[in-house]
Structure 1
């Protein structure tokens, strides 16, 4: 008889295609009451066991039942505090904070996370390139738009946050 896993550790099984799958519960849907299940895949059971443990640790503190009520701004705050802050240097942390507060939240912050489309993002990036510079005394003699590198950095922040959303 196979070894049972403790509550909160998820379950592991071998799929018909030969890969291993680990499933874990991240919360409950407030409307239906059904469990919200996520999964990880791997080639070996040991690999899936490690991925499953890491995924469960990463999802502590996120209320997936409220996921439908998040706006882009709210989600970026949750992502920034629970994920980004832990994994980066203080200087990078401050840079990300500036990008989020000065550029992303004023433009995209009020859009519900479920309603965000690639068109919203493309229009946002185009606007940043054309007229994204924050009005400051030091920036008066510089062009109105942000550099392509800065826009790529902002895209990377949004992309990282949305992967976990």
Structure 2
């Protein structure tokens, strides 16, 4: 018999009863290496051999690495992602990897079918139950189980939102693309998986009436000024909580946004703002200057009341002891105030969208709104609030009907 050509392969039965096929394949670096595939039957093993041979004929290189998904993500997080993204972004990547990707895909062979099945399973799994969130909550003093830690168990149906599943898929695609570029993988199979879109992006902004109703109810709240800057100039939650008095020019009526407060790796940290465009000086409406002056006086009262327990952080918004405020506590306080005011419960971040909506409704041009919200470009502003802009334009066009009133009467 003549010598077999590269890629022809051979099949033999092993001592453990399985069948093994060995095929010479071309690797991503252009070398030829022997790769083994296995099957419980000769036919199963032959089918896998044929797949490799087909890849050879089509010129598709075949990865020979034994790296698992868990191993690769451990490398990717710390060697690729951590040096290149913001600390808050890395913390998000690490959490999603630890809670979703490694448990679901860590030891699997990555195929589009596996990824799709994993995402479908995540979307149907209550994450409060899966991650034991209620049990951790109940461990704290004076905290009682609220759902899955109760006896009998009560599932709170905390399923991931479709947007969360899309974010997971984007993260997986990005990591696997780096693996392709480093010749660890030959193909990014995550790009073959498609998830249904969410349609047009919807922002749950308040109307001007709802915003006024909320502020009227929150007037006596110790953090009234926080809600005011969120609605008045569209500060993000972290930006507002990271605001320092040295960044506030009450005499000049302006504020400089330079840092943001976030919880990262279990600790409250002050980091640079989201983007270079986010670091900017924004003018304050005259009523908001008065609100901040009043808040400064109230904080001076907190300082006197706290005495030696006061911690001078220089932050505008603090606890009664001067320490930074836990961001999640802001969420809870905001939701309680929404219910008390009788308005729709929205996210804290949606106050920013409300600010933009009110500005557009008042006829403010997109370029000015961009500067106030500190978007990186005007296309981000117009793209994000296209529905609001179209609504304002429609109202303006409708008012042009006054030109045709005489004709309509005739």
Equivalent position to 2:84, from 84, 87, 92: 87
- 1:135 deviates by 2.6
Distance apart, 1:106 and its partner CA: 0.7
Deviations 1:78-134 (A, max 9, x none): 1111111111111111111110001110111012xxx31000000111011110513
3-state SS in 1 of match to 2:29:
strand
Distance 1:67 1:90, change over 3 A: farther
Please point out which of 133, 152, 155 is paired with 2:166.
152
Q: Which residue of 1 aligns with 2:120?
A: 126
The answer to whether the Cα contact below 8 Å between 2:126 and 2:157 also exists between their aligned partners in 1 is no
Q: TM-score, normalised by structure 1?
A: 0.55
CA distance in 2, matches of 1:102, 1:156: 16
Which residue number corresponds to residue 106 of structure 1?
Answer: 103
1:36 equivalent in alignment to 2:29: yes
Distance 1:99 1:73, change over 3 A: same
Counterparts of residues 130-145 of structure 1 (less than 5 Å): 130-131=124-125, 133=127, 134-137=131-134, 140=147, 142-145=156-159
Q: How many angstroms apart in 2 are the aligned matches of 1:127 and 1:121? A: 10
1:71 — aligned with what? 68
Deviation at 1:144, TM superposition (A): 3.6
In structure 1, C-alpha distance between the alignment counterparts of 2:113 and 2:165, rounded to whole Å: 16
Instruction: Give the structure-2-normalised TM-score.
Output: 0.23
Contact (CA 8 Å) 1:72, 1:108: kept in 2 or not?
yes
1:99 to 1:36, Cα distance in 2 relative to 1, 3 A: same
Q: Helix, strand or coil: the match of 2:97?
A: helix
Shift in Å, 1:35:
8.6
Extract unaligned runs of 5+ from structure 2: 1-23, 31-62, 138-145, 148-154, 180-410
CA RMSD of aligned residues (A): 2.6
- Provide closer, same or farther for how the CA distance between residues 85 and 147 of structure 1 changes in structure 2, counting only shifts above 3 A: same
Q: Deviations over 1:29-54 (max 9, x none)?
A: xx99x8925xxxxxxxxxxxxxxxxx
Structure-2 separation of matches of 1:154 and 1:164: 16
Unaligned runs of 5+ in 1: 1-30, 38-65
Counterpart-to-counterpart distance in 2, 1:164 and 1:132: 31
Q: Secondary structure at the match of 1:36?
A: coil
| Structure 1 residue 161 corresponds to structure 2 residue 175 | yes
Distance change (3 Å), C-alpha of 1:90 and 1:35: closer
Deviation at 1:67, TM superposition (A): 6.1
- The change in CA–CA distance for 1:122 and 1:101 in structure 2 (over 3 A counts) is same
What secondary structure is seen at the aligned counterpart in 1 of 2:160?
Answer: coil
Query: After TM superposition, which residue ranges in structure 1, 4 or more long, deviate above 3 angstroms?
Result: 138-142
